[in-house]
């Protein structure tokens, strides 16, 4: 098996950002939102009382001494899959986009959840970090990978807020991603 560099996004892929912010919002504002309410990539504030994205992100920046990013749960199977991939000899490279106020919370979260990585990039142009396989849920990031890294395997973690993109492979679960990576590694 060949060791591969796996460019893994956090929010929407490993960390359940949607369930996390909705839970906090419902608690604070006695609302009744559900994760299934989120069906668009960049319209979270439209589900809330916030007038715009800036108000939403100001609110998200401070929750009990940390941002909303500090208190997220992982998706089922995410950490186990990452540990399995690391045990197979693959390099888990975290590629995430965060506001400046969430950087420390992101590193603390990675430590708290024992994500098996030695490499973390908090970067808007994720494609600049060379990897063999990329896994993301952002329609914008997936399009950039396709434009700038067409020779790499680009995977869309299927979520309600993203649509298929020609040239991008759909991944439905962490088990699917482990199988795909294992197969790809054996083929090299």
> What's the mean per-residue pLDDT of the chain?
95
pLDDT at 41: 86
Where exactly are the structural domains of the chain? 5-16+73-187, 18-71
Segment 86-93 mean pLDDT: 98
173 phi/psi in degrees, rounded to 5: -155, 165
| Contact criterion met (CB below 8 Å) for 153 and 132 | yes
Measured in whole angstroms, the distance separating CA 155 from the mean position of its chain's CA atoms is 12
Comparing 7-11, 53-57, 135-139, the range with the smallest average pLDDT is 53-57
Segment 107-132 mean pLDDT: 98
Specify the CATH number for 5-16+73-187; select among 2.30.40.10, 3.40.50.300, 3.40.50.150, 3.40.50.1000: 3.40.50.1000
Looking at the predicted structure, is the pLDDT value of residue 43 above 90? Answer: no
Segment 102-131 mean pLDDT: 97
Looking at the predicted structure, is the pLDDT value of residue 188 above 80? Answer: no
How far apart, in Å, do the first and last CA atoms of the chain sit?
7
| Contact criterion met (CB below 8 Å) for 5 and 185 | no
pLDDT at 103: 96
H or E element in which residue 141 lies: helix 139-148
pLDDT at 44: 85
pLDDT at 119: 98
pLDDT at 187: 87
User: What pairing do the DSSP bridges indicate for beta strands 133-136 and 91-96?
Assistant: unpaired
| Contact criterion met (CB below 8 Å) for 60 and 21 | yes
Q: At what angle do helices 174-187 and 78-87 cross, to 10 degrees?
A: 20
| Contact criterion met (CB below 8 Å) for 155 and 134 | yes
Segment 77-105 mean pLDDT: 97
pLDDT interval class at 10 (50, 70, 90): very high
């Amino acid at each position: 098996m060949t060791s591969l560099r796996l460019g893994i996004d956090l929010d929407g892929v490993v960390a359940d950002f949607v369930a996390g912010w909705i839970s906090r919002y419902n608690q604070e504002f006695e609302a009744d939102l559900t994760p299934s309410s989120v069906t668009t990539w960049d319209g979270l504030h439209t589900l809330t009382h916030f007038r715009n994205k800036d108000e939403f992100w100001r609110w998200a920046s401070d929750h009990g001494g940390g941002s909303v990013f500090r208190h997220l749960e992982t998706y089922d199977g995410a950490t186990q899959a990452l540990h399995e991939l690391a045990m197979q000899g693959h390099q888990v490279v975290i590629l995430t986009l965060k506001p400046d106020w969430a950087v420390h919370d992101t590193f603390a979260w990675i430590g708290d959840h024992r994500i098996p990585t030695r490499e973390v990039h908090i970067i808007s142009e994720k494609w600049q970090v060379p990897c063999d396989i990329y896994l993301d849920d952002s329609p914008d990031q997936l399009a950039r990978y396709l434009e700038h890294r067409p020779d790499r395997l680009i995977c869309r973690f299927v979520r309600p807020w993203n649509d298929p993109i020609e040239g991008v492979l759909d991944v439905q679960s962490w088990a699917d991603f482990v199988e795909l990576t294992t197969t790809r590694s054996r083929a090299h």
